[in-house]
Structure 1
Amino acid sequence: MRNSLIALGLASAMVQSALAYDGLVQKQSFDYPGPFTTVSGATIRQVKVGYESLGKLDAAGSNAILIPHFFSGSSHFAGRYKADDKAPGYWDGLVGPGKALDTDKYFLISVDTLCNINTKDGITVTTGPASTDPDTGKPYAMHFPEVQIHDFVTVQKALLDKLGVKKLHAVMGASMGSLQSYEWAATYPAMVERLIAVIPAAQIDAYGIERVRHWGDIVKLDPNWKQGDYYGGPEPIDGLIMAFKVLSLDTLAPEWGDASFGRKWADPAKDPAKAWDNQYAVEAAADAAATARAKATDADNLICLERANELFTVGGKDSLEEGLKAIKAKTLLLPSHNDHLLFPEATRHVRDLLQAQGTPVEYHELDGPMGHVNGVVGMGQAAGIVQKFLTE
């Protein structure tokens, strides 16, 4: 997400750099102990994921805040890897001493998911279709076992156990990160004290299933995909480019286009009405951003990751009401008012169900022209709400 259409002239929507976390972060890696068994019963012999952390875990192991990441993100939630990095982690403005995610008070940690699409960036650490199958010495490709959101949580729990985390002061995630956050609260209710679900979904409904399935289906139309066995040859870049254009537009609201581009031409000398290949500014920018994003993405990982999103139901229950019953954590819901991907109406329904079962819940809508993306680039507006929620 951070590298797709968000990059198209949206710097003004980011939290001011003067407020940013002033520090470097390091990617670390975690090897899951022994073979990993997925929720569906398949076995993955070796699982390795990356993680990043800030702050220190207290002696009781109870001041940790887990920050699961969104679909196209990684564990890079704050800081920079090098002083001259162009962009910090996606929630950088919330992080640091005295801020909402106070590094003097909390141990902040985020983990790269299985099947992370950023496996080609040289930094993200993940196990998925692009990983080498130890039984064959070749990439798994689409033979990689199907994984679900619950599997991501299982890997994270093993890492937290190794680090000595006994309690989670909070779990806080945006979009796919909210799916993981809900799953944490439902699976480990005695461990999770607070749940912050940003641009969230507690279940992917029929409409959402079809929306996210489009992203993977578009990639499969590229003849270079070859049923996923493209490793060592031409990759399905054209399919990925189109998938990212669709994905990015799915996450944005109409207000974004008017605010960022209007009907400006890409080239002031080339009227789109005069030739079919003369573009509007929004078209040229979308093409450039999607092309850059596609070149950094593994196609099979994207397909497997969108499948994990399709399959999600909180607590593994087909009934949303039944799945939510396990959640006891004090909950803060932060949907975006103009989200056209994960609609705020659905989150209001979750709020009502949580209230009815006696779970403490707060609800606030994020503002801004960015639709779903308000929960990534526009989170500065919720800093005070988050800080208050974490300290009460």
Structure 2
Amino acid sequence: MLRVLILNCFILLVSLPLHANSLLVTKHAFEIAEFHTQNGAVIRPVRVGWEAYGSLNADKSNVILITHFFSGTSHAAGKYQPDDATAGYWDAIIGPGKAIDTNKFYVISVDTLVNANVYDPNVITTGPATINPATGKPWGLSFPVVTIADFVEVQRQVLESLGIEKLYAVIGPSMGSFQAIEWAVRYPERVQRLIPIIGSAYMDAWAVTRLERWATPIKQDPAWRNGDYYAYGQPRQGLTTALAYITQDALYPTAFNARFADPVADQAVQHDILAPFTVWQQLLSQAEQRAQLQDANHILYLVRASQLYRAGMGANWQEALKTIQAKTLFLPATGDQLLLPTMSKRSAAAMSASQVSYAEIPGEWGHLDGIVNIHAVAELIATFLE
């Protein structure tokens, strides 16, 4: 039985299907002494975490990079300890004999810069909550704006430190699809196969505005203190409200209505203008759990990185897509209300028809189907990787 306690658009799940053959994995740390961002800023140093599954072959030709979603981490599969309550978010398709078969492939994933889950002990990431060695204080809003291209460049340096120059495939859901596509645009000769899942090659005005709704509650919370709140504590109300909105946007309305309280049952709201609906209280309760691990400024930076995305990071994303050499499979979710299937279709249409395949992930979860229902397209992924 799948229990979803955390429902997030660019999503973090607290409970996933457990698999008897889950891998045991180790989180590694990687440091770049001086990282230059796309915008010309310098971050000293940058630290990220990464983990891998399977074995690297002799000529290092069997590498699959998994690029994670907005509120995810590099924990794509397996467990850190045998008695861990949950496995990585794509454990259903990554492992021995699974769609992304670790008997064949060396599968690696890297935490993004400004990873949301700052207070998860298994997350290693540099961002606004990190101490800036130049000042001895958290970076706060002095941290430079970072982009999807910056996430890719950090990943590239991790891979090159392992002697990996080419990728058998790059696969990523949601914000991870942005990174996967950017890999294939920036390094077309290095990427053989590309699978953007619940994703898009661009963000349009509608999508950018949708994400601004996530940032606004944080910035309007007086406790945010213009990003300088680390000596006082998180802007809990703004962060919790933002995460509640993210949860709603991740779900198809039918699934949402089936899992949250029917407003018809609320009586107090008929007599008290300040009385909250039960469904909103439920959303806030779940968001409060997530807020214990996440950082408000990091959410803002991830929102901005996502808003700024278009393939190639220039004005013409359609032209940028034409540089891709990788065989490509777009896999949107049929019921996605956040990164609409039409966005995947439009992205695919900008590429050569002989190069691109398209299918949809069925299910009732909307955007979340790219995580919780990924097993529905496991055979399609396995065939594509062959």
On whether the aligned pair clears a TM of 0.5, the verdict is: yes
SS at match of 2:351: helix
Q: Is the 8 A contact 1:21 1:93 kept in 2?
A: no
Aligned-partner Cα distance in 2 for 1:20–1:206 = 44
Q: Equivalent residue of 1:220, what SS?
A: helix
Tell me by how many angstroms 1:109 deviates.
0.5
Mapping of residues 167-186 of structure 1, within 5 Å: 167-186=166-185
Aligned-partner Cα distance in 2 for 1:337–1:54: 30
2:38–2:150 contact (8 Å) kept in structure 1: yes
CA contact (8 A) 2:22 2:91 kept: no
Q: Tell me if the contact between 1:14 and 1:378 (Cα under 8 Å) persists in the aligned partners.
A: no
Q: Work out whether residues 241 and 291 of structure 1, in 8 Å CA contact, stay in contact via their aligned partners in 2.
A: yes
If the length of structure 2 is used for normalisation, what is the TM-score? 0.93
Q: TM-score, normalised by structure 1?
A: 0.91
Contact 1:253/1:340 (8 A) holds in 2: yes
Identity %: 42
Conserved? CA contact 2:30–2:158, under 8 Å: yes
- 2:345 is aligned, of 344, 348, 360, to 348
Change (3 A) 1:147 1:21: farther
1:166 to partner: Cα distance: 2.5
Q: Residues 46 and 3 from structure 1, CA distance in 2 versus in 1: closer, same or farther, beyond 3 angstroms?
A: farther
Partner of 1:293: 290
Count how many residue pairs are aligned between Structure 1 and Structure 2: 379
The letter for the 1-side match of 2:325 is K
Q: 1:35 to 1:3 in 2, by over 3 A?
A: farther
Query: What is the match of residue 153 of structure 1?
Result: 152
1:263–1:280: 8 Å Cα contact kept in structure 2?
no
Match of 1:380 in 2: 375
Q: Which among 316, 334, 342 is matched to residue 319 of structure 1? A: 316
Alpha-carbon displacement from aligned partner over 1:230-266 (angstroms, at most 9, x marks no partner): 011132010001000111111111011233246288x
Q: Deviation of residue 314 (structure 1)? A: 0.6
* Alignment partner of 1:333 is 2:330: yes
Moved >3 Å (runs of 4+) = 270-284
C-alpha distance in 2 between matches for 1:310 and 1:160 = 26
CA contact (8 A) 1:257 1:282 kept: no
Q: In 2, distance between residues paired with 1:21 and 1:169?
A: 24
Change (3 A) 1:264 1:81: farther
**1:4 lines up with 2:6 in the alignment:** yes
Cα offset, 1:225, TM superposition: 0.4
Q: Is 105-114 or 313-322 further displaced after alignment?
A: 313-322
- The alignment yields a C-alpha RMSD, in angstroms, of 2.2
| Deviation string, structure 1 residues 7-58 (Cα, Å, up to 9, x no partner) | 9xx99x955x3x45422211110012x3111011111110110001111111
Matched, 1:51 2:50: yes
CA distance in 2, matches of 1:51, 1:275: 53
Letter in structure 2 aligned against 1:256: A
- Residue 23 (structure 1) aligns with: 23
Which residue does 1:221 correspond to in 2?
Answer: 220
- 2:259 is aligned to 260
> What does 1:84-163 correspond to in 2, within 5 Å?
84-163=83-162
State whether residues 20 and 94 of structure 1, in contact with CA within 8 Å, keep that contact through their aligned partners in structure 2.
Answer: no
Is 1:82 matched up with 2:77?
no
Deviation of 1:274 (Å)? 6.6
Q: Which amino acid aligns with 1:210?
A: T
